[in-house]
Amino acid sequence: MALSEQRINELLVRDHERIRTTLEQVESMSDEAIGPYFDELCRELVHHETAEELTLYPAFKEHVAGADSIADAVSAEQDKAEARLAELAAEDRTNPAFRQSLAVFRSLVIEHTGHEERALLKVLETHASFDDLVEIGRRYEAALGAASQDQQLDADAVLRIDHRDALRDAMRQAVARAVGASRH
């Protein structure tokens, strides 16, 4: 996979936008059609969040001295959203209550991505050099590349703990290779 030369902030804003669009699409689908869109939403969220966990959060802590508590607070918010997603996936999608849960979840994601953009990305941008931001972007793209075999997985499969652990390991290795490649 060709690695990007985009900065991490550009890549994450792009992916946040995509996630918000997918959420809107899911909400607009009928009960019969919602399944594949909800599966896609779960894949996008799991891939994005795991890749962020391995690239954005450590980079933020490395470049912004004394700001670990900010990163930890936004990361805890992300964990809460993930737990909520697992609950949502277990709900009956034909029940009207599912629509309400979905709307609440969308607000949670909008709030969380907004926090990440304001509290982490804007701050990281002012502390890391252009080249560092590109380097972190490369790591993020490498992590996402390790998730490409997931494209057929449904929500339940992508959210399973054992799958998430295997995905995190594969992404961690891909990030390590990207770090090694950029040092040669």
Binding site for Fe ion (CB under 5 A): 52, 116
Contact 154, 130 (CB under 8 A): no
Q: Nearest Cα to 164, choosing from 35, 50, 41, 36?
A: 50
Residue 130: strand, helix, or coil: helix
Query: What b-and-e string marks burial along 115-129, b requiring 16 or more CB atoms within 10 Å of the CB?
Result: bbeebbbebbeeebe
Q: Which is nearer to Fe ion, 115 or 160 (CB)?
A: 115
In angstroms, give the least distance from the CB of 52 to Fe ion.
5
Q: Which is nearer to Fe ion, 44 or 52 (CB)?
A: 52
Q: Which is nearer to Fe ion, 8 or 34 (CB)?
A: 8
Q: Which is nearer to Fe ion, 52 or 141 (CB)?
A: 52
In angstroms, give the least distance from the CB of 180 to Fe ion.
25
Contact 121, 13 (CB under 8 A): yes
In angstroms, give the least distance from the CB of 174 to Fe ion.
18
In angstroms, give the least distance from the CB of 30 to Fe ion.
29
By beta carbon distance, the residue nearest Fe ion is: 116
Q: Which is nearer to Fe ion, 26 or 34 (CB)?
A: 26
User: Angle at which helices 130-145 and 8-28 pack, to 10 degrees?
Assistant: 40
In angstroms, give the least distance from the CB of 137 to Fe ion.
13
Rounded to 5 degrees, what angle do the CA atoms 167, 124, 62 make?
65
